[in-house]
Amino acid sequence: METLTYLIYLLSAVLFILGLKQLSSPKTARRGNMLAMLGMLLAIAMTLLDKQILDYTYIIIGLVVGSGIGLIAARVVQMTAMPQMVALFNGFGGGASTLVAYSEYLSRLQDPALGFELNVTITIVLSVLIGTVTFTGSLIAFAKLQGLMKGAPIVFPGQQFLNAVLIVAVIVLGVMLAMDPSLEMFLLVILILSAIIGVTSVIPIGGADMPVVISLLNSYSGLAAAMTGFVISNNVLIVSGALVGASGLILTNIMCKAMNRSLFSVLFGAVGTDDSTGTGGEEQRTVTRYTAEDAVVMFGNAQSIIIIPGYGLAVAQAQHVLQEMAEILRKQGKTVRYAIHPVAGRMPGHMNVLLAEANVDYDLLYEMDDINDDFQDTDIAFIVGANDVVNPAARYKKNSPLYGMPILNADQAKTVMIVKRSLGAGFAGEANELFFDEKTMMLFGDAKKMITDIVRVLKES
């Protein structure tokens, strides 16, 4: 029986890997997710047959309550709210890891026959530490993204010193617990300190840096699961946790590169600003205001158009009307494509999901590296709700925070249209030269209203 259990767990791990592998293409991705689901179902079913389980009352209650909440949350969440949803799910995963490790500690404490090998105590401490940091950190990230808390960094004097002290305290307590596992209070104190670390390490991170934080917490939740796997000597937890840990690290790295930040500066820099755009100083230079009618005239003469969406598009809820505009232009025989910067949303790949929801064919969504060389042969670059990701200062202005950040070469298009509320600077606080370029047409106003106007004029003409 035990052999069968472990073989089924192995099968689950294989299904997880195959499932992730199928995510390499949108054609197979849905099936991949199903495979992973099947793997999870097998693991759960096999566990329910385990001889250690004597009473199913709590299990049934837990499964029913958890499934109900999960089902409702997955159904009702808006695509724009996906980052906070994922943060919340992450947090629950981390919390579960902590609780399993803690419960294992308590039952070993009661049953002297089980005993504490050194490696068990160490992984219990690690599991509680990482799991709890993931839990409270994710709750803070959720609160910031959901607007329950201000997005701006919260800093206080001695914050980093406090974090360092807390981490050292956890290590010291952990070592003492490893030497004498019967010190029951110590694990509780470790849990409380870890909870504080989760809070104090996420509150100084600004709203714009959230993609990095969510990716990192994703990685942590995997590591916490893997540590729990060591605690209860279960390899399927270790394999799955390692996969997720690796995935989160890769995404964290991609986000850092795309935002031109090191992980260190995101975690300790506290330079990110609030979510609200356009807070930067208004420049005293003048630009010509263009109208929807002007834009339509330009579209009339254009053959190729690249749309650059930014998060401002989603804030204005203008995805659907943008898709309508793109479709009209495509029916007129023009080439219309979308260029997606890696940080064009609030989490990795977020903009793609938002546009997919608006019925944009995924073949029209181009990654930065695949489309950047095409801008020079493009008639119009149409920028909506994006700023820093098209700021040419990233190429030449050495003292700018943007310097070195990979950007979309919108400035190389023959005409640049920018739909924007104001001339304000982006998150990085760097004024955008592109606004004042003579080939740039500024279309001031709310994205949804402006694009709706353009669609109206296009239909009339």
Partner 1 sequence: MGEVLVSLYVFVLAIFVGFEVITKVPPLLHTPLMSGSNAISGITIVGSLIAAGAEHSGLSTWLGLVAVIFATINVVGGFLVTDRMLEMFKKKDKDGE
C-alpha 368/C-alpha 389 separation (Å) is 10
Minimum CB separation from partner 1 for residue 113, in Å? 12
User: Could you tell me if 374 and 367 are in contact, meaning their C-beta atoms sit under 8 angstroms apart?
Assistant: no
Give the rounded distance of the alpha carbon of 306 from its chain centre.
25
Run of H or E residues at 444: strand 440-444
**What does the block give as tokens for 79?**
């695509």
The interface region with partner 1, picked from 88-96, 154-162, 273-281, 387-395 by CB under 8 A, is 88-96
Among 56, 148, 188, 300, binds partner 1 (CB under 8 A): 56
Minimum CB separation from partner 1 for residue 188, in Å? 11
Minimum CB separation from partner 1 for residue 16, in Å? 5
Minimum CB separation from partner 1 for residue 351, in Å? 9
Q: Closer to partner 1 by CB, 102 or 311: give it.
A: 102
C-alpha 32/C-alpha 18 separation (Å) is 7
Task: By CB under 8 A, tell whether 356 contacts partner 1.
Answer: yes
Among 1, 2, 3, 110, binds partner 1 (CB under 8 A): 110
Task: By CB under 8 A, tell whether 106 contacts partner 1.
Answer: yes
Minimum CB separation from partner 1 for residue 405, in Å? 16
Task: By CB under 8 A, tell whether 1 contacts partner 1.
Answer: no
Task: By CB under 8 A, tell whether 323 contacts partner 1.
Answer: no
Q: Closer to partner 1 by CB, 181 or 222: give it.
A: 222
Task: By CB under 8 A, tell whether 33 contacts partner 1.
Answer: yes
**What does the block give as tokens for 427?**
């998150």
Task: By CB under 8 A, tell whether 263 contacts partner 1.
Answer: no
Task: By CB under 8 A, tell whether 189 contacts partner 1.
Answer: no
**Active-site residue identified among 209, 275, 388, 411:** 388
Q: Closer to partner 1 by CB, 25 or 399: give it.
A: 25
The interface region with partner 1, picked from 146-154, 193-201, 220-228, 435-443 by CB under 8 A, is 220-228
Minimum CB separation from partner 1 for residue 264, in Å? 21
Among 7, 69, 175, 176, binds partner 1 (CB under 8 A): 69
Per CB under 8 A, which of residues 273..302 are in contact with partner 1? none
Among 7, 276, 289, 362, binds partner 1 (CB under 8 A): 362
The interface region with partner 1, picked from 16-24, 271-279, 425-433, 435-443 by CB under 8 A, is 16-24
Among 277, 319, 352, 391, binds partner 1 (CB under 8 A): 352
Taking CB under 8 A as the rule, which mask of x and - marks residues 228-257 in contact with partner 1?
xxxxxxxxxxxxxxxxxxxxx-xx--x---
Among 63, 172, 188, 192, binds partner 1 (CB under 8 A): 63
DSSP 149: S
Size of the site for partner 1 (CB under 8 A): 118
Q: Closer to partner 1 by CB, 66 or 147: give it.
A: 66
Task: By CB under 8 A, tell whether 262 contacts partner 1.
Answer: no
Task: By CB under 8 A, tell whether 65 contacts partner 1.
Answer: yes
> Tokens 């305290």 map to which residue?
169
Task: By CB under 8 A, tell whether 73 contacts partner 1.
Answer: yes
Q: Closer to partner 1 by CB, 222 or 272: give it.
A: 222
Task: By CB under 8 A, tell whether 62 contacts partner 1.
Answer: yes
Per CB under 8 A, which of residues 145..184 are in contact with partner 1? none
Per CB under 8 A, which of residues 198..217 are in contact with partner 1? 214-215
Q: Closer to partner 1 by CB, 181 or 345: give it.
A: 345
Look up 275 and say whether it is catalytic: no
Q: Closer to partner 1 by CB, 343 or 419: give it.
A: 343
C-alpha 267/C-alpha 144 separation (Å) is 15
3-state per-residue secondary structure call for the chain: CHHHHHHHHHHHHHHHHHHHHHCCCCCCHHHHHHHHHHHHHHHHHHHHCCCCCCCCHHHHHHHHHHHHHHHHHHHHCCHHHHHHHHHHHHHHHHHHHHHHHHHHHHHHHHCCCCCCCHHHHHHHHHHHHHHHHHHHHHHHHHHHHHCCCCCCCCCCCCHHHHHHHHHHHHHHHHHHHHHCCCCHHHHHHHHHHHHHHHHHHHCCCCHHHHHHHHHHHHHHHHHHHHHHHHHCCCHHHHHHHHHHHHHHHHHHHHHHHHHCCCHHHHHHHCCCCCCCCCCCCCCCCCCCECCHHHHHHHHHHCCEEEEEECHHHHHCCCHHHHHHHHHHHHHCCCEEEEEECCCCCCCCCHHHHHHHHCCCCHHHEEEHHHHHHHHHHCCEEEEECCCHHHCCHHHHCCCCCCCCCCCCCHHHCCEEEEEECCCCCCCCCCCCHHHHCCCEEEEECCHHHHHHHHHHHHHHC
Q: Closer to partner 1 by CB, 325 or 443: give it.
A: 325
C-alpha 370/C-alpha 347 separation (Å) is 20
Of 432, 450, 456, whose CA–CA distance to 290 is shortest? 450
What residues are annotated to the active site? 388
